[in-house]
Structure 1
Amino acid sequence: MSRHSPLLTTTTFPYRLKPLCCLTAPSLLLALAIPLASADTMTQAVLFALEDHPTIQASIDERKGIKARVRDARGGYYPRLDFDGNYGRERSSNPSTRALEANAGHHNVYLDRQESRLSLTQLLFDGGRVSNRVDTRQAQLELADVRLEATKEGIILQAIEAYFDVLRRDEIVKTSQSHLRYQQDLVDKIKRKSAQGVARKIDARQVEGRLALARSEYDRTVGDLTDAQSSYERVIGRPPSGLEEATAIDQSLVPRDNATALRMAMVDSPIINSIQAEIDVAKNEYEETRANYWPTFELELSGTENYDLDGVPGRNHDAQARLNVRYNLYNGGSDRAKVLAALENMNRQKDLLLDSKRKLTEDIRLARTAYEVALKREASLREYAISAKEVREGYEAQYGIGQRSLLNLLDVEAEQYRAHIAHINAQYASYYAPYRILNSTGTLYEYFIRNEETQVAVSEPAVDNNNTQTTESIDLSDNTLSEEGFNSDKEESSN
């Protein structure tokens, strides 16, 4: 594989992006502002996705809203200051108005009534309703943080998949293009031989049919590449530009076995932490509903300033300091029902936690199995592709001396093409698989953003007992019917 994908490269990228935590604030801003005209590394693609993805922005907005609700709940700890006032025309007829000599014989008095009241109320005790409401909102805020982390983990995995898919499709297009050139050369040679009377016309028709099939296959692969580029733009937020070649992850950062991965997941997995946060929310909601069993005590200081009330002219003024007690004695069983509902919700979250642990264990095992299988398949299919290429070259030589038929040559070329496509798919599966493991353990975000020692590996991959990788890239760029050699400039990721 070339250093940059030819179908995607516009300019070269002369340096590699440092881990985020190793960058100063100005250099970080510069790194994020690198124009897409330069080659994009996978780290850059991930950073772009985290910066612009609408799903992440929606999670951030949700967190801001919950944070405001925390402040709203804490308002219950503070005094409440209220002012009430009114003004209007009042008609009064009562014993006081009728007793006035000036109104003898008149039952109605008309006055401009004015009222104002200022009160200061401080909650003293409410059975823990306010404190548990604050704890509930705080637990919801922590839940929003965990969900945001889970969203980032998911977006990173999508970005990695989209990045690899564009490169994989690009390689397939180049392989299909080489296959098409080979078929075209074969058609040209057979036609020349047919014109010279050396080859039969039916042979020319046969290779023309294979050429049409190769052209159709090429058009399909180009369409698949276009689809992959569209998916990349949807996830990353901008079109791919000069993507750097795929490389293997540093295997020392991948958990060495399922037990290690599971221990990491129990601490770092957003799925587990999310359910734990849900349990905390449910516990506080349960305690909040139990506050209905208790009375509420409030201290109230108030004063009034009123004029011309109830038909009696003059000023009325009073000031009060009192303790208010409110205690519900019967509410139709609603309070108990709320407590039971909150209790069952808490039990439900605990059951979901157990289920999530089982699913997480399964996910880790599946990811580990996919990792190991991908490595084995890549090695086998690499040998298959090399063998198929050597067989085709041998058939070419034998066809030239009449020991192989044209059909033999066409069939072995088709097999060689299929073998190379299968190897490309297996190779990128081996690149992608270890990231699934990191995602299952909840450490994928840390791998890209927080780990100071993590960099995208550029050493040659392949797996041996020392956890090293080497990959041999199969070069099909030559469109001739003769030697199409192999080189080993491409690295292969471990799963």
Structure 2
Amino acid sequence: MASILKSFFTFLAMALCTSGAVAESLRDAVRFAVTTNPAVKATEADMRGAAYELLELRREFEPTVTVFAETGWQRVDDPSNLSTADNNIGKNRNQLGVRAEIVLFDGFRRSNLVYANSARVDGSIFRLLDASETLALNATEAYIDVYRHRILREVAKRNVVKHEEIGRRVRDLVQGGRLPYSDELTIDDRIRSARLALLEVERALRDANARYERVVGRAPSGRMTVPHAPVPKSLQELTQASVTNSYRVQYTRTQIDQNRFMGEAILADRLPRLSVFAGVSRDKNRNGVTGTRNDESIGLGLSWTLYQGGRRAERSALAEQTSRAMSEQAIAVREVTELAARTWNTYQTNLERTRQLEEQLRINLLIVEVYGEEFEAAKRTLLDLLEVERARFIVEFETVGAQAGLAFSTHRALATQSKLASHFGLAKSDLAFAPNFQNLTKDNPLSIFDVSIEPLSTEPLQ
């Protein structure tokens, strides 16, 4: 019996070996998928766009320099201020000047715009990281699915070979008069059923290959292996790590901050706006006066809207937006908590199911061996032997699926904690900017403009 089990598990280990083919590890497949998938590239472009929009705010803190000029014809009728030679006389008029202005105080509108956009950039980073986790999990699932179907194909092939072997024995016994002809018809029927089952598995494998190519970006090739990922020791540990690390939860926090700072920027319009300006201009025949005139100016400008309707509704709208963002964060926490629980339950179920199926398979293999011997001794009918072979095939089939499901559930536990990409060697810095823009601007909003944003590498990670 021990030799039978050893042969079976050796077969499972060697079933996926392809002569001369380079092995593709799960790590390589996931890294290739995450770094080349167009869906992630689209989210990456959104992140970079948000970062550049943040950098655009530099102009809010720098002077505005305006050059103005005009030329044309003018006639002024102002006898009280113009001489008889100039009054009501058409003249060519020209003007050229430059004016510079810089805002000194605007109710902290600019600062809050920087804070809000920093939160938006951090949010886009967390969205990208979350998308990378999702894609990593999808690639893992596609890889394990191909791995599972390859083994199931080998199991189905072995099932056909086994029934063909029984068929040869039955035909010999029928020819020797030890079994009726109906047994030969019965085994022929079972052989065809086994071949149809193999045909269905091969179709499912082709479908799995197609999905793999869509998700990963290239067709599966070579030998495949599926290691298990580390799993927390308890549901409580998994839940705590999931809520703490979840990119989705962290994204909702940035939405709360973004709403709050945008509200502060809008409320800044109720405070005075103070600026300093300087300018110089040169006019010819200005306002009807013949001659050239030079003007130079420097001073302070003040603008303050003391009353504007709708401000109470504006405050209420801002409060509701913040309330909505906080509710969305609470929803995200609950959903991540539920996901952690469901992931843990699936892992525990798959673990126990795999153990029981492996034990059931051990028993089935023993039954098949005993029934085979008893069939040769005419103590069991052909239907008895075929029935235990069918039961063995079903249990073996389910065992392969359970083992693959267990391996996937360990990786799903990592994805629930937002750790799957890093498990395969994809650091955050490989995928996105560091989500630290809010901290950079916390004490000094101008400090963000010292950040250099280099293009992310478009080459697959090696």
Q: What TM-score do you get using the length of structure 1 for normalisation? A: 0.78
- Measure the CA separation in 1 of the matches of 2:33 and 2:184: 51
In the alignment, which of 54, 61, 65 is matched to residue 45 of structure 2? 61
Q: Which amino acid aligns with 2:18?
A: T
In the alignment, which of 185, 197, 222 is matched to residue 205 of structure 1? 185
Closer/same/farther in 2, CA of residues 9 and 307 from structure 1, 3 Å limit: farther
Greater relative contact order structure (CA < 8 Å, 6+ sep): 2
Summarize the alignment of residues 13-412 of structure 1 with structure 2, pairs less than 5 Å apart. 38-87=22-71, 89-92=72-75, 94-95=77-78, 109-111=90-92, 113-195=93-175, 197-249=177-229, 251=230, 254-333=231-310, 335-412=311-388
- Measure the CA separation in 2 of the matches of 1:308 and 1:187: 115
Q: Which amino acid aligns with 1:133?
A: L
Contact 1:384 1:419 in 2 (8 A): yes
Q: C-alpha displacement at 1:96, in angstroms? A: 5.9
Q: C-alpha displacement at 1:245, in angstroms? A: 2.0
- Measure the CA separation in 2 of the matches of 1:386 and 1:165: 24
- Measure the CA separation in 2 of the matches of 1:426 and 1:347: 44
Contact 2:136 2:420 in 1 (8 A): yes
Q: C-alpha displacement at 1:422, in angstroms? A: 0.6
Contact 1:139 1:281 in 2 (8 A): yes
Aligned residues: 418
Higher helix share: 2
In the alignment, which of 378, 403, 413 is matched to residue 437 of structure 1? 413
Contact 2:141 2:408 in 1 (8 A): yes
- Measure the CA separation in 2 of the matches of 1:270 and 1:98: 72
Is 1:428 aligned to 2:395, yes or no?
Answer: no
Q: C-alpha displacement at 1:38, in angstroms? A: 2.0
Q: C-alpha displacement at 1:212, in angstroms? A: 2.1
Q: C-alpha displacement at 1:242, in angstroms? A: 1.5
Q: Which amino acid aligns with 2:325?
A: Q
Q: C-alpha displacement at 1:370, in angstroms? A: 1.4
Closer/same/farther in 2, CA of residues 8 and 234 from structure 1, 3 Å limit: farther
Aligned residue for 1:255, secondary structure, equals coil
Specify the alignment match of 1:31 in structure 2. none
Q: C-alpha displacement at 1:400, in angstroms? A: 1.9
Contact 1:153 1:439 in 2 (8 A): yes
Contact 1:438 1:444 in 2 (8 A): yes
Q: Residues 194-237 of structure 1, C-alpha deviation per residue, up to 9 Å, x if partnerless?
A: 45555433323222222222122111111111111122222221
Closer/same/farther in 2, CA of residues 62 and 10 from structure 1, 3 Å limit: farther
Q: What TM-score do you get using the length of structure 2 for normalisation? A: 0.83
Contact 2:82 2:288 in 1 (8 A): no
- Measure the CA separation in 1 of the matches of 2:82 and 2:266: 54
Q: Structure 1 regions of 5+ residues with no counterpart?
A: 12-36, 452-495
Q: C-alpha displacement at 1:137, in angstroms? A: 0.6
Q: Which amino acid aligns with 1:9?
A: T
Q: Which amino acid aligns with 2:202?
A: V
- Measure the CA separation in 1 of the matches of 2:342 and 2:319: 35
Contact 2:66 2:98 in 1 (8 A): yes
Aligned residue for 2:96, secondary structure, equals strand
Q: C-alpha displacement at 1:100, in angstroms? A: 6.5
Contact 1:368 1:437 in 2 (8 A): yes
Q: More displaced, 93-102 or 350-359?
A: 93-102
* Identity value in percent: 23
Q: Which amino acid aligns with 1:449?
A: G
Contact 2:243 2:337 in 1 (8 A): no
Closer/same/farther in 2, CA of residues 132 and 401 from structure 1, 3 Å limit: same
Is 1:447 aligned to 2:423, yes or no?
Answer: yes
Q: Which amino acid aligns with 1:109?
A: G
Contact 1:74 1:134 in 2 (8 A): no
Contact 1:302 1:320 in 2 (8 A): yes
Aligned residue for 1:202, secondary structure, equals helix
Closer/same/farther in 2, CA of residues 236 and 96 from structure 1, 3 Å limit: farther
Aligned residue for 2:424, secondary structure, equals helix
Aligned residue for 2:22, secondary structure, equals coil
Specify the alignment match of 2:434 in structure 1. none
Q: Residues 417-470 of structure 1, C-alpha deviation per residue, up to 9 Å, x if partnerless?
A: 10001101111111111222222222223322279xxxxxxxxxxxxxxxxxxx
Q: Which amino acid aligns with 2:334?
A: R
Closer/same/farther in 2, CA of residues 90 and 211 from structure 1, 3 Å limit: same
Q: Which amino acid aligns with 2:362?
A: I
- Measure the CA separation in 1 of the matches of 2:253 and 2:139: 27
Specify the alignment match of 1:9 in structure 2. 18
Aligned residue for 2:282, secondary structure, equals strand
Q: Which amino acid aligns with 2:75?
A: S
